[in-house]
Homo-oligomer: A and B are copies of this chain.
Amino acid sequence: MSYTPERMTPLNACRLGLDTHQEPTIYLRQDSPVCRSEGFSALSRVLVRTEQRHLIATLHMVTGELLMPGEIGFSESAWKRLELREGTSVWLSHPKPVQSLSYIRSKVYGNELSQSELKEIIEDIVAGRYADVHLAAFITACGDDKLNIREITDLTTAMVESGSSIEWGLPIVVDKHCVGGLPGNRTTPILVSILTAAGLTMPKTSSRAITSPAGTADTMETLTNVSLSLDQMRTVVEQEGGCLAWGGSVKLSPSDDLLIQVERALDIDSEGQLIASVLSKKIAAGATHVVIDIPVGPTAKVRSQEAAEVLAANFKTVADTLGLKITTLFTDGSQPVGRGIGPSLEARDILAVLKQDPDMPKDLYQRASEVAGAVLEMVQGLGPGEGYKKAIEILNSGAAWEKFQAICHAQGAFKRPPIAPYRYELVAKTRGVVSCINNRKLAKVAKLAGAPADLAAGLDLHCKIGDPIEPQQTLLTIHAESSGELSYAVEYLEDHLDIIELAKDK
């Protein structure tokens, strides 16, 4: 091989402090001799080597004075993956063609992908050999229903095998997933409390918000410490039967994290990739029994009962093959659940339900008990409705509330969620009945107010579909940590008063 690093004059690494997210990026001066000799140009894929490590990165060119001759700049992700220090010697060359890209082309031509082809694709994705445009091609080629059940099953297995897995050594480890989150639908912490109080094991890892005003990890962060190592997580679970941790620190199904960012940008639904994404995370986390909550509604991810049934059937077939027990649940996806939207406000709702506060949001109490009931019926052999009854009993008895506090303490702290100093109330101008609530626009108001970065920011919704409304009645309250952000959210709200639609009284 002529491209041994030793042969070429090395470049000196320079940290530029640029965050290009997951795509490792390098920066070279346009007049760099290596660009000329290797024929590199902007967006070239380049194999970057140090004496210890290597990765494939995308090249951006520098025409200004950002770099000195002989220097090579790095994005943060590239800098960290290569474990660089300032001035580390770096060699560049052309990467070998990525063989698995030809399987994606083959999928475009309508061919079925074999088990080994899917495995190679996922391995290359995890190794960083795919640029974002390649991920986009993979997602598009598998879009709609272009993966059959066998392919989905093999894809799931490949995704599990590409990362770490947790072994609990127990016959029953439960988990849940909700397809397409509704604002405020923060049932997970309540669920974990009920189910661990019922004696089950539920080592729950959750994500932070990516495009929503709050993820379960953001909400739990207002109440306890969520950045647990795998060892800390094990200790908490052994002690309390469950945990409520952030999934980011444990590398489960890492290809999923890479794909999901591009999937969001494209907004192309692939049923196969959705199923593989959800089930691979659950299997890697060591779950044996999983309940899948599928909210159905006009602004939810799944919009019709028929679509929900097809999705549920396919989830079931793939899970069966992989030895995972699942139950699917169809729930109402027409409006937010609970009152608060935003980390602290959702945490307050969760505490109200757990504490059985008379003023608690009934729909969240109801929803959490239903999902918990489905899990209990699945694993404890209870008849229809008995699980729900048992969940309600556990909540009402205060056992779930005690369990929740114990888990928080085991995770290192039980904190009070912060409260935002700035408020704005939207009042009804006319009499009427709430006929429609726009989930998407509500989420936008909460984000403009500062959620999730400002933990106390967001909004409180004071009405539900069907509620009669009097003039001057408060419909929602915006919470913000700064007056600038408050006015920002208010301006948007005033231009989008159709967020809550009122129909004339009957």
Contacts and interface: CB of A to CB of B under 8 A. Distances in A.
Interface in A31-77: 33, 36-39, 41-43, 45, 60-66, 75-76
Given A261-B43, A268-B105, A494-B2, A19 B136 contact: no
A119 interface: no
Contacts of A447: 39
Contact of A143 (B33, B109, B144): B109
Interface stretch (A228-236, A379-387, A406-414, A448-456): A448-456
In which size bucket is the chain A interface? 35 or more
22 contacts: A1-B495, A2-B492, A15-B64, A17-B62, A17-B64, A18-B27, A18-B61, A18-B63, A19-B60, A20-B43, A20-B60, A21-B41, A39-B453, A60-B75, A105-B268, A108-B143, A132-B133, A133-B135, A133-B266, A137-B137, A140-B140, A141-B143
Given A144-B108, A491-B7, A101 B18 contact: no
A41 B16 CA distance: 18
A138 to B, nearest CB: 8
A19 B101 contact: no
B17 A448 contact: no
Contact of A101 (B20, B60, B66, B267): B267
Interface in A248-276: 261-262, 265-269
Contacts of A453: 36, 39
Interface string A106-150: 001110000000000000000000011111110111011000000
A485 interface: yes
A484 interface: yes
A346 B295 CA distance: 65
A379 to B, nearest CB: 37
Interface of A: 1-2, 7, 15-21, 27, 30, 33, 36-39, 41-43, 45, 60-66, 75-76, 101, 104-105, 108-110, 131-137, 139-141, 143-144, 210, 261-262, 265-269, 447-448, 450, 453-454, 484-485, 488, 491-492, 494-495
Nearest to A45: B265
B265 A19 contact: no
Contacts of A265: 43, 45, 131, 133-134
Contacts of A1: 495
A488 B134 CA distance: 30
Nearest to A443: B39
Given A7-B491, A16-B66, 5 more contacts: A2-B495, A33-B484, A37-B484, A37-B485, A108-B143
Nearest to A146: B108
A18 B450 contact: no
